[in-house]
């Protein structure tokens, strides 16, 4: 039976505000009508921003259904309309009238609309969806949208799309393996184009060149050079033909991933950047001069990522989409905002896991498994050096924080822990797109070097997403069988494993909860026990020496699991475990089985968790919260 010792009022809870107000820069397009007028349209979370490049005026239009999701792509049509998608809806905008003229929903079960767009010779617009990889056609004038076909049942990402003048639509597919889907518009025939040796993870890229022809780049894993000329093809009438890279006509899109520009300005002008977080557009003119247009819009508060109590008594964290770094100083009750330049190659990512040794904090960041060192004993702003996209790493003597390592085997970090030797930190997470099984990274904090173990050296085809260190130094890891990058795992359930630091090897593994897909959190208990929680909110105590579950409790009535939702602490002189779910704060006295609900949260938590003194901190979306926990306020009966 679960126990409750809740506070009867919300006084202990306090909102500390919104540390970051900024929007991630994603896709944009230049729309041109039949009169030659132009508008720059920037797609952002929850809205479109229309900018007149001639007079600098701005108009912000929320999505008509108040959707707050991120758009993944944007395209301008020949008639000057803007097409984009967010959440489960596709939108068509007339930027010259500043009004939406169409809204379409994707098939049931799809999570995202508009991963890519293309327009054929007849003016029909096509779009792709995720994760079903459907090809949709839409006609804004007729207010019609239909499913043309499903491009692939195995490859979930259709990130690029092009319409040929031959009556075919071509889609670049991934990420479990690269391929091109060719769809004949009139007959709905679907062909899948692959190349020899491309069973490895990856994505094919498709674009319509400025010459009107369709080009594809299909990775060939058997070739020693990723940039080999034979990776490029011209595709006509559903057939591919290899060509040298020098023969490829440039795309009408510029940029990569979700940050692309479709078309460009006329009269020799070029849109260099469209930075929402910096609130400006930069344009290069035909004579080589540059000008800037200030952006006037109401930005969003950016959602927060897991937080960390630093060795200096301050709280550290980042937002995600975009990554802005901040520090909360409890003694001064103030938030220091460091913006987007403080963390190298931050972009649209986030620091998702932290651990510390001495004065140094190690932060593991998405995307790409970036490892940052933050030395809290050194000045920050006084030696701050802007992080350009062209610079991967800067001399440690010039920068703090600083990037020391990157490895796609932990593309999406989820956990980090300090070892008892005072020198090393371990971290884990999910691999890159299309891959299965995440690595386990070992950071030597003194040397600022990293060693990476592949998933084959830990738990094959699984990813380490939670870590704990027992008093005697044994490392306990919890895994996930999920593959958020589109890979396909043969594993059926998550495991708990023991890892020996001396031999760098797994010494035992167990399935603590049958059928669980993920062990989302771990925390050391008492006398060789470890507490864990699954992605289904099943809390368990595991006796490592006996290799068995001692107790389990279903906490789903208290809320869903959040990232970084468990930590070891002490209370009234006793070791405890503090836990955070979306609707509840709970605790367990180490060595006991029954969790106690300390408090119901005033607003749902999205990630945790840190304690400084008698204050517990967590995030609720974009808002930072504090819970003041007086000694003796709640305890086991």
pLDDT surpasses 80 at 5: no
**Tell me, what's the pLDDT at 634?**
52
**Tell me, what's the pLDDT at 195?**
85
**Tell me, what's the pLDDT at 7?**
46
Mean pLDDT value across residues 263-280: 94
Band (456; pLDDT cuts 50, 70, 90): very high
- Number of alpha carbons in the 13 Å side-chain half-sphere of residue 448: 19
Distance between CA atoms of 273 and 281, rounded to whole angstroms? 6
**Tell me, what's the pLDDT at 9?**
45
pLDDT surpasses 80 at 114: yes
Band (334; pLDDT cuts 50, 70, 90): very high
Chain centre distance of CA 83: 24
Distance between CA atoms of 476 and 467, rounded to whole angstroms? 6
What is the secondary structure of 517-584 as a DSSP string? Answer: SBEEEEEE-STTEEEEEETT-EEEEEETTTTEEEEEEE-GGG--EEEEEEEEEEETTEEEEEEEESSE
Q: Considering only CA atoms, which of 90, 115, 88 is closest in space to residue 104?
A: 90
pLDDT surpasses 80 at 6: no
Q: pLDDT (tens digit, 9 = 90+) per residue, 414-432? A: 999 999 999 999 999 999 9
**Tell me, what's the pLDDT at 65?**
87
CA of 256: how far to CAs of 26, 144, 228, 260, 261, in Å? 10, 30, 19, 6, 9
With a CB cutoff of 8 Å and minimum separation 6, the contacts of 434 are 174, 175, 176, 177, 200, 201, 202, 203, 485, 486, 487
**Tell me, what's the pLDDT at 389?**
46
**Tell me, what's the pLDDT at 632?**
65
Mean pLDDT value across residues 83-92: 97
Q: pLDDT (tens digit, 9 = 90+) per residue, 492-539? A: 999 999 999 999 999 999 999 999 999 999 999 988 899 999 999 999
8 Å CB contact between 138 and 125: yes
Tell me the torsion sign for CA atoms 8, 11, 12, 15. positive
pLDDT surpasses 60 at 390: no
8 Å CB contact between 83 and 92: yes
Mean pLDDT of the chain: 92
**Tell me, what's the pLDDT at 146?**
96
Band (388; pLDDT cuts 50, 70, 90): very low
Same fold, 25-294 and 414-554: yes
Q: Write down the domain spans for the chain.
A: 25-294, 414-554
Distance between CA atoms of 461 and 550, rounded to whole angstroms? 27
Band (111; pLDDT cuts 50, 70, 90): very high
25-294 in CATH: which number?
A: 2.130.10.10
8 Å CB contact between 167 and 186: yes
Q: pLDDT (tens digit, 9 = 90+) per residue, 118-133? A: 999 999 999 999 999 9
Domain 414-554 annotated CATH 2.130.10.10: yes
CA of 530: how far to CAs of 197, 419, 584, 626, in Å? 44, 16, 21, 27
Paired with 464 in beta bridges are 479
Q: What percent of the chain has a predicted confidence (pLDDT) above 90?
A: 83
Band (573; pLDDT cuts 50, 70, 90): confident
**Buried-state track 143-152, b at ≥16 Cβ within 10 A, e below 16:** eebeebbebb
**Beta strands at 615-620 and 607-612: parallel, antiparallel or unpaired:** antiparallel
Distance between CA atoms of 490 and 524, rounded to whole angstroms? 30
Distance between CA atoms of 184 and 169, rounded to whole angstroms? 6
Q: What percent of the chain has a predicted confidence (pLDDT) above 70?
A: 93
Residue spans of beta strands (DSSP E) within 20-77 = 28-32, 38-44, 47-51, 58-62, 71-76
Q: Considering only CA atoms, which of 513, 603, 605, 613 is closest in space to residue 565?
A: 605
Mean pLDDT value across residues 544-561: 97
pLDDT surpasses 60 at 267: yes
């Amino acid at each position: 039976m679960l126990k409750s010792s809740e506070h009867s009022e919300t006084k202990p809870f306090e909102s500390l505000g919104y540390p970051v107000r900024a929007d991630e820069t994603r896709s944009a397009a230049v729309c041109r009508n039949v009169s030659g007028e132009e508008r720059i349209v920037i797609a952002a979370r929850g809205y479109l921003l229309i900018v007149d490049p001639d007079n600098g005026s701005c108009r912000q239009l929320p999505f008509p259904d108040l959707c707050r999701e991120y758009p993944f792509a944007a395209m301008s049509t020949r008639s000057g309309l803007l097409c984009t998608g967010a959440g489960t809806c596709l939108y068509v905008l007339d930027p010259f009238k500043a009004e939406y003229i169409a809204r379409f929903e994707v098939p049931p079960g799809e999570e995202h609309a508009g991963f890519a767009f293309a327009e054929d010779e007849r003016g029909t617009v096509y779009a792709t969806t995720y994760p079903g990889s459907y090809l949709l056609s839409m006609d804004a004038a007729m207010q019609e949208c239909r499913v043309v076909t499903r491009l692939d049942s195995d490859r979930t990402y259709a990130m690029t799309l092009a319409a040929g003048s031959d009556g075919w639509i071509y889609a670049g597919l991934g990420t479990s393996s690269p391929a091109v889907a060719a769809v004949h518009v009139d007959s709905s025939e679907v062909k899948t184009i692959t190349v020899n040796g491309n069973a490895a993870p990856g994505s094919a890229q498709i674009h319509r060149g400025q010459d009107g022809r369709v080009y594809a780049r299909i990775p060939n894993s058997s070739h020693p050079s990723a940039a080999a000329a034979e990776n490029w093809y011209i595709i006509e009438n559903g057939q591919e033909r290899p060509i040298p890279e020098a023969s490829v006509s440039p795309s009408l899109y510029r940029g990569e991933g979700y940050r692309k520009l479709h078309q460009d300005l006329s009269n020799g002008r070029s849109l260099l950047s469209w930075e929402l977080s910096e609130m400006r557009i930069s344009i290069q003119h035909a004579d080589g001069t540059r000008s800037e247009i200030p952006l006037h819009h109401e930005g969003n508060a950016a959602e927060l990522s897991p937080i960390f109590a630093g060795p200096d008594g301050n709280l550290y964290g980042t937002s995600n989409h975009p990554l802005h770094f901040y520090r909360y100083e409890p003694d001064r009750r103030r938030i220091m905002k460091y913006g987007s330049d403080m963390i190298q190659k931050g972009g649209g990512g986030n620091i998702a896991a932290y651990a510390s040794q001495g004065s140094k904090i190690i932060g593991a960041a998405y995307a790409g498994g970036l490892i940052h060192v933050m030395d809290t004993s050194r000045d920050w702003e006084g030696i701050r050096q802007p992080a350009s996209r062209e610079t991967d790493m800067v001399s440690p003597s010039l920068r703090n924080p600083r990037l020391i390592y990157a490895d796609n085997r932990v593309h999406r970090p989820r956990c980090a822990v300090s070892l008892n030797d005072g020198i090393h930190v371990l971290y884990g997470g999910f691999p890159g797109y299309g891959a299965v099984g995440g690595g386990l990274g070992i950071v030597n904090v003194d040397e600022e070097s990293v060693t990476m173990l592949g998933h084959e050296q830990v738990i094959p085809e699984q990813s380490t997403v939670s870590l704990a260190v027992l008093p005697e130094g044994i490392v306990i890891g919890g895994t996930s069988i999920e593959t958020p990058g589109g890979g396909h795992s043969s594993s059926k359930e998550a495991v708990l494993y023991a890892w020996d630091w001396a031999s760098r090897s797994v010494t035992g593994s167990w399935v603590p909860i049958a059928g669980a897909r993920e062990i989302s959190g771990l925390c050391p208990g008492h006398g060789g026990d470890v507490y864990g929680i699954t992605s289904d909110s099943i809390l368990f105590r595991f006796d490592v020496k006996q290799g068995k579950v001692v107790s389990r409790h279903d906490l789903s009535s208290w809320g869903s699991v959040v990232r970084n939702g468990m930590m070891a602490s002490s209370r009234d002189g006793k070791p405890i475990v503090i836990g955070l779910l979306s609707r509840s704060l709970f605790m367990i006295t180490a060595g006991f089985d029954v969790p106690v609900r300390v408090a119901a949260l005033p607003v749902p938590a999205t990630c945790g968790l840190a304690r400084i003194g008698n204050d517990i901190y967590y995030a609720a979306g974009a808002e930072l919260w504090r819970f003041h926990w007086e000694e003796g306020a709640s305890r086991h009966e």
